[in-house]
Every structure is written in structure tokens, then in C-alpha cells.
Amino acid sequence: MQYRTLGRTGVQVSSLALGAMNFGRIGRTTQEEATAIVDAALEGGVNVIDTADAYSAGESEEMVGKAIAGRRDDIVLATKAYLPMGDERNHRGGSRRWLVTALDDSLRRLGVDHVDLYQVHRWDPATSDEETLSALTDLQRAGKIRYFGSSTFPAYRIVQAQWAAREHHLGRYVTEQPAYSILQRGIETHVLPVTEEYGLGVLAWSPLASGWLSGAIREGRKVATNRSAFMPQRFDTAVPSNRAKLDAVERLARVADEAGLTLIQLALGFVTAHPAVTSALIGPRTPDHLHAQLAAADTVLPPDVLDAIDTIVPPGTDLAPDEKNDTPPALLDPTLRRR
């Protein structure tokens, strides 16, 4: 396992981090399986576990808490808030009112008195940066969080939040958690240059592109991934962007074979090769999935392999632009761009 410094915090973190989104109902991973995954990940050198309150409505946090009991101090523990937690309209977002409550709920579910990294799951256009950063700064001063970060923020919002922190003398985001894979390289255009400029640590999620780069999705095979059950449109090969992904996967598989690597090693090695990326978040659903991904822990791709990847998916290219998670609200809601 490789270890890197998380932004400018001085905290040493593993180049592969364990994402717990599949723990619970989303991935149908049981407590026994989750504990086995955590055990194997820690044994393999992983020292970061990332979850969120919205993952299976808090079930993921509860399962992580049980799995890490008795060894919390050896783990860099991260969680998130922002996404809806129920139907009540104020049980979501980036307001002080909600973040204070959401963090207390997360700490209770995790069974800990603090988290190392607390992340705002998405940018909240209804809440000012000053409001959110002020709440996070107070939570940090209270000892409930050590650091705070953003997740899936557009580049201009990352810059705006850094400016707001300086302008109002508040703590700043020290990390960003964007989606990044060989198939979705759009963040290379603006987000990653900005995180490098401000010295943010980067925890890249979906490095296997929701399973497209796991080796399970190939030409002529029936798609059988957990994601296909609740996001079927993202796996329908009749959709042009999915067809483009499948074509790219076939070409990438040949590159991996020629380099003596699995497709998973190629995919994870690509993400961790970018100088702006601190860790790639893997999200195994079973212990077998974890072991296949841990095999990429020390993978270093040579320049010729990286060049071959660039010819298949050019730098800065998203093969499925409609799947981006940081699209400005005005592009999604016509009422926000029309007078």
C-alpha cells in the first residue's frame, strides 16, 4: 500500500480508501460481510473509511461503527451530510441548523465522539458559504470533527468557498471528493487543477465507474451489477453513451492484458497516478470484491500504458456527460435560467 499526505493536513492516508456506500440496503451487504471487509481492508493497509448519513438511511454508518469498534484510533474516519434524511424539508442541506443535528446523529450511529473528516455531500445553492463554513468551523472547535471537506463541488464553487473562508476568517475545506475514472475524466479540466492550486486532498469516488471497469461488464455479457437494479439507464447498451463506454472498456481490457494487469488494476492505477489525487475510494460489496481491488494497491502504470489510455479516452473527456454530479442547478431547472 502507498501512503500520501491528505492535502496540507499532515495526515497520512492510504492510496486506496474504503468506501462504505454498499454497506446495508444499497449493496445488500450484511453486518458480517461488512465487518469482514473492514477487517481485510485494514489488514491490507487501508486506513481510511468513508461513509455518509444518506447511505441506506444511516445503516451504513451503524455498520461501520460496529465494524471499527475497539480500533477507532487507527482509522481516518470520514462521513458526510447534505442529502435528504427523510421527508422533512429541513432535514437536508448545508444550513447550520441541519449540519449540527446531522453530525450528532452520525456520531451516535458510528458510536464515536468525533470524525476525522466531515464532508458536505453536495453544494447547497440555497445556503451561503459563510453559513456552512461557520457551522463547520464551530463543530471543529468543539472537537466533534478534525477537518472538513466538500464532495462533488464544481470547480468555481471550490474557489468561492476558499474565498469565503478567507474573507470571513473561517476554517476552510481541506479536501474535495469528486467522481473520477478513466471513463469520466471531465474533472481534469477544472476541478483537479483547482484542488492542486489550493492544496486540497482529493478522495476520488467511483474509480471503477459504477462497475464498468470491474471486468464484469464486457461485450456479449449480461450486465449483472448491483447498480443496474436501481440505475438501469446507466447500463442500457442501447444508450449511445453506454455504447461508448462499452467500446472503451473492450479496448482498455486489451491494454490491461498487454500490460499483464487486471482491468481493476488498470482503472485504480490510473486514478492514483494523477498527482492531484490522494486516494481512490473503492466500494466493495463482498470480501471477494475487496481482495480483487486491493491487488491494485501498489500498481504503478508506466508512461506507455497511460499514453494508451489517453488514446482511448482523451484527457478531460466524460464519455457520459449526462451522468455528471456537479452540473450547475440552472442547467437542470429551466426556472433558474429564465426570467
Domain ranges of the chain: 3-213+264-301
- Give the lowest-confidence range in 91-105, 106-120, 190-204, 232-246: 232-246
Span 137-166, average pLDDT: 98
Mean pLDDT of the chain: 94
Span 227-232, average pLDDT: 62
| Residue 224, pLDDT score | 60
- Give the lowest-confidence range in 114-123, 137-146, 187-196, 220-229: 220-229
Residue 222 burial (CB count, 10 A):
6
Q: Which helix (H) or strand (E) holds 192?
A: helix 191-198
DSSP-derived 3-state class of residue 146: strand
Q: What class does CATH assign to 3-213+264-301? A: alpha beta
Residue 336 pLDDT > 90, yes or no? no
The type of residue at 57 is A
pLDDT tier at 12, thresholds 50, 70, 90: very high
DSSP-derived 3-state class of residue 249: helix
Tell me the pairing of strands 12-14 and 3-5: antiparallel
Residue 329 pLDDT > 90, yes or no? no
pLDDT tier at 233, thresholds 50, 70, 90: confident
Give, in order, the Cα–Cα distances in Å from 301 to each of 247, 282, 285, 298, 307: 22, 18, 26, 10, 10
Cell match 474573507: residue? 167
Say what the alpha-carbon torsion angle 130, 131, 136, 138 is, to the nearest 10 degrees: 100
Record the cell numbers describing residue 302, joined without a space: 508506466
* 55 classed as catalytic: yes
Residue 130 pLDDT > 90, yes or no? yes
| Residue 225, pLDDT score | 57
pLDDT tier at 229, thresholds 50, 70, 90: low
325, 318 contact by CB (below 8 A): no
Span 77-82, average pLDDT: 98
Per-residue pLDDT reduced to its tens digit, 22-66: 999 999 999 999 999 999 999 999 999 999 999 999 999 999 999
User: Which of the two residues, 2 and 232, has the higher pLDDT score?
Assistant: 2
Residues 6+ apart with CB under 8 A from 114: 107, 143, 144, 145, 146
Please tell me the pTM assigned to this model: 0.94
Residue 39 burial (CB count, 10 A):
15
| Residue 326, pLDDT score | 80
Helix pair 129-141, 155-167: axis angle to 10 deg: 60
Query: What separation, in Å, do the N-terminal and C-terminal C-alpha atoms of the chain show?
Result: 54
Span 58-79, average pLDDT: 97
CA distance 126 to 105: 22
67, 109 contact by CB (below 8 A): no
Q: In the chain, at which residue ranges do the beta strands (DSSP E only) sit?
A: 3-5, 12-14, 16-19, 48-50, 76-81, 115-120, 145-151, 175-177, 201-204, 279-282
**Of 3, 55, 82, 198, which is the active-site residue?**
55
| Residue 227, pLDDT score | 55
